[in-house]
Structure 1
Amino acid sequence: MAQEPFEDLVETFEFLDDWEDRYRHVIELGRDFPPLDDALKVPATKVDGCASQVWLHPRIEDGRFDFAGESDAMIVRGLIAVLHRLYSGLPVAEVPQVDAAAELGRLGLDEHLSSQRSNGLRAMVARIRETAAREAA
């Protein structure tokens, strides 16, 4: 079972009747997600493998994982917000153990994203997992 913010999102998605409503909700999540400071949009935080521009800036506080992020595409910014709900606040050692594909599958994202968006989402998950694994070691 995922963290409460992600479980809340799963419940919300269950109430939304069709994918268009869910898609709009993901975009709203992106609009509400805090922007990344421009000083952090550097090559080291840029995620390769995404069709749009994506930056993820991890933060570890008291052994717990968190990150800030941003994208120039609204849907991708929403996906960053979804990933934030999935991973933020977890103990660093638990982050690599999260089955992101299964958890995101509960939202139906795997069925409705283009192959480019799916590849970008996998690249973001890989960056999060690699960062946490490195920090936990």
Structure 2
Amino acid sequence: MPLPSTDEIIDDIGFFDDWEERYQYIIDLGKALPGLPEEACTEDKLVPGCQSQVWLITEQQDGKLQFRVDSDAIIVQGLLALVMAAYNNKTPQDILDFDIDAYFNELDLERHISPTRGNGLRAIVTKIRKTAEQAH
């Protein structure tokens, strides 16, 4: 099942009355990600700055960047799904042009995750943006 678009995610999140339901939605999004085989979860694929382990693999095809991600924490897997909705299968320029701060603000996300999770989320975004800058 493909991930919904960022606009769909924003709309979906708005349907839930409380953050417990929103967390469950985010976790369910994470479960939709295919994950990585164990042998792909190597030290060189780890994203530094994350509290949980997060692995990121990048490929470029037809001018677009594809990301495959995995985490050892279910809520982080859900946060990765939010990031993948914004960045996966986009051109480097699309990635650089996307206002991730506005997206996170629209989700009201960073007020509801721990500071260490927020730092990890920023580390993932930074890594993807640097990859897009290099591919640009």
Same fold (TM over 0.5): yes
Unaligned segments of structure 1, at least 5 residues: none
Partner of 2:39: 39
Question: Which region of structure 1 is more displaced relative to structure 2, 119-128 or 96-105?
Answer: 96-105
Give, in angstroms, the shift of residue 39 of structure 1: 2.7
Structure 1 residue identity aligned to 2:112: H
Two-structure CA RMSD over aligned residues (Å) = 1.2
% identical equivalent positions: 37
The one-letter amino acid of 1:69's match is V
Supply the distance in 2 between the matched residues of 1:68 and 1:104 (Cα, whole angstroms).
Answer: 21
Match for residue 48 of structure 1? Answer: 48
How far apart are the structure 2 equivalents of 1:89 and 1:118? 24
Separation in 1 of the partners of 2:102 and 2:49?
21
Count of residue pairs the alignment pairs up:
133
Q: Between 29-38 and 125-134, report the one with greater CA deviation.
A: 29-38
Structure 1 residue 85, shift from structure 2 partner: 0.5
Comparing 97-106 with 73-82, greater Cα deviation is found at 97-106
Displacement of 1:83 after TM fit? Answer: 0.6
Tell me the TM-score normalised to structure 1 length: 0.91
Instruction: State whether residues 26 and 79 of structure 1, in contact with CA within 8 Å, keep that contact through their aligned partners in structure 2.
Output: yes
Which residue in the other structure is 2:100 paired with?
A: 100
Q: How does 1:1-137 map to 2 (within 5 A)?
A: 5-136=5-136
Give the CA deviation at 1:38. Answer: 2.2
Decide whether the 8 Å contact of 2:67 with 2:89 is kept in 1: no
Distance 2:83 2:7 in 1: 12
Q: Secondary structure of the residue that 1:39 maps to in structure 2?
A: helix
Cα shift at 1:82:
0.8
Which whole-Å CA distance do the structure 1 matches of 2:51 and 2:79 have between them?
A: 13
